[in-house]
Structure 1
């Protein structure tokens, strides 16, 4: 994060830093406190000596454990017959350095004061992810707890993507695919797109055909034709003009950017990074759902496209589980303590299937959306709270763009950030046209007032702590809305208050029925 903060200060001045200070913890001998030297005293793990684990009876149900119960067996000898079958699931031990990090406190993005602030902060966070991507870093753990609201030097709310604990960094980059084709092949493809499409579509400019064809080799120009026509229909569903289709019309007018090269990197055995409710089903499955013959020979890689999908699931979660801006605005249908709670209702079911269920349920539910957009509309868009109805078009286009990117691995895939940023900017522009149509002004005013009160309480408390004076009587440091904690011996790497009521550096899902989020490496 420090590397990205330094790069940010050069191209995006005025943004709050992600890290205030950090240092490695040292032992009394002045050496780095590491798991290998300090905790394990140089001991390494040995693979299981079992020759035939399949010979162990598998009939007792007590031998079959849920995924989240595998983890305890990482740390104990697998010598009991009951757990011998789990030996192959143990992870290789890794050396880690104990580091203390002091980070600024932010406000969870789900507590945005209105829709404009919500989208503006998503836009800033995706810009963070794009900036990291250009610097060879893939975050791999985009979640609601890692998207925080801060305020720049001008007092404007901005989103920041935090917590790069599970990020990976490439040391090299590769060029975006660029297959060169003969001019006559380009012209033939250009004509073929227009004539073979049903219903017919206008001619593409030569520049647009070159862009569509660059991602496919000579034997796949038919796929380039399908890709170009599908992109046109996605971007221009009701276009009447007969003018030629340009790169700009298709959203392909980007400058090429660096693409991190992870082809020589392999994830640790049995590990995938992410927070389960927001992980792409491709990451959960460890496989691409739309793989052609060439891609099927390549190992699966967690890329920034999967990060961008996680951003979408965070937004979807907010739209499904909240009923307005600010704090204490969870949906009544999801609150067991409210009279409108409906455990068997369609909203509870879809939130469970997409976010609260086990890995298999979440994976199967989201995977089905890839091949059936009507199901995505029925299960997701139709259950948005009315307050978030203005965002349905954005979410629909975002999902269509992701599926298009996964299916063709072309412009939308390699420029995913630019495509989604374009959609967000268009949605923000639409909201600005008539804010009275979507605003819940009373709730927005309440959230603004809460922030002002909180700021004043924090100022008084810090003054009392610095001067040693008596704590102000009107400041309640135990209030769940206060992010101020009693002084700690060492800086905390993560600081959180009540999961539903306070600014935080780590937040949980907003639905009252949701279990704590699990940021984990899931056993395959």
Structure 2
């Protein structure tokens, strides 16, 4: 299992395929906490707080009645990290390599303040803040209206075509947690089918020019 999944550990190859690498670069690690967890039953478990499951930070989503130990790292935690990377990109980026200027602007509109609070709670707060926000997100995951109001409405315009993917990926992971799924290959295949479906949809419709704009920027 990758164990440590962050934006800087994911690369897109020239043929469009994605790959996970372990660059351990200084970028995000200069602004986000990185931890080796030794009291979780998994001494080799590592991760960066913003992209770690709240379960691994000590807040189980659906704890069994007879639970006496904290959750041990499992494949579903890696899938959640991929989801959190996707959400982070969609909230904090205007487009390829373009940060959202409104996150650092001096404007104080209600919409911008809500966006900043959402980014803070999910990715910039302390462990307790991050854990509670992620746990809440998992508990509303299958309720589209709530997810729209509390998360998806803050996705940047450029990334808006990915809202359905975020919701369906979030729902898949939440249900896997609730059902305590351990059929690793089957869950991975469900996730891959989900991504394949949305890739085909984007290639067919391309409503915001997601595939065209990177080519134009490169040229």
Shorter chain as denominator, the TM-score bin is 0.7 to 0.9
Q: Give the number of equivalent residue pairs.
A: 200
| Superposition TM-score, scaled by structure 2 size | 0.79
Q: Which has the higher helix share?
A: 2
Is 1:447 matched with 2:213?
no
Is 1:348 matched with 2:120?
no
Is 1:332 matched with 2:92?
no
Aligned pairs for 1:366-405 (under 5 A) are 366-373=134-141, 374=143, 375-405=146-176
The structure 2 residue matched to 1:360, chosen from 123, 128, 144, is 128
Is 1:302 matched with 2:73?
yes
1:278: how far off?
0.7
Is the 8 Å Cα contact of residues 354 and 365 (structure 1) preserved in structure 2? Answer: yes
The structure 2 residue matched to 1:160, chosen from 16, 19, 37, is 19
1:449-476 CA deviation, whole Å, 9 max, x = no partner? 2xxxxxxxxxxxxxxxxxxxxxxxxxxx
Is the 8 Å Cα contact of residues 277 and 362 (structure 1) preserved in structure 2? Answer: yes
Hey, what's the Cα distance between the residues in 1 that align with 2:195 and 2:5?
18
The structure-2 alpha-carbon separation of the partners of 1:442 and 1:433, relative to structure 1 and needing over 3 Å to count, comes to closer
Q: Which residue of 2 aligns with 1:275?
A: 48
Root-mean-square deviation (Å): 2.8
Hey, what's the Cα distance between the residues in 2 that align with 1:363 and 1:376?
17
Q: Secondary structure at the match of 2:167?
A: helix
Hey, what's the Cα distance between the residues in 2 that align with 1:342 and 1:146?
34
Aligned pairs for 1:23-38 (under 5 A) are none
1:289: how far off?
2.4
Is the 8 Å Cα contact of residues 289 and 406 (structure 1) preserved in structure 2? Answer: yes
Aligned pairs for 1:62-141 (under 5 A) are 138-141=1-4
1:447: how far off?
2.5
The structure-2 alpha-carbon separation of the partners of 1:441 and 1:297, relative to structure 1 and needing over 3 Å to count, comes to closer
Hey, what's the Cα distance between the residues in 2 that align with 1:266 and 1:347?
36
Q: Secondary structure at the match of 1:274?
A: strand
1:230-276 CA deviation, whole Å, 9 max, x = no partner? xxxxxxxxxxxxxxxxxxxxxxxxxxxxxxxxxxx9433xx852011
Hey, what's the Cα distance between the residues in 2 that align with 1:423 and 1:362?
26
1:342: how far off?
6.1
Hey, what's the Cα distance between the residues in 2 that align with 1:140 and 1:323?
28
1:355: how far off?
0.5
Q: Structure 2 regions of 5+ residues with no counterpart? A: 25-39
Hey, what's the Cα distance between the residues in 1 that align with 2:124 and 2:109?
16
Q: Which residue of 2 aligns with 1:431?
A: 202
Q: Secondary structure at the match of 2:72?
A: coil
Bigger CA drift: 345-354 or 368-377?
Answer: 368-377
| Superposition TM-score, scaled by structure 1 size | 0.35
Larger radius of gyration: 1
Q: Which residue of 2 aligns with 1:284?
A: 57
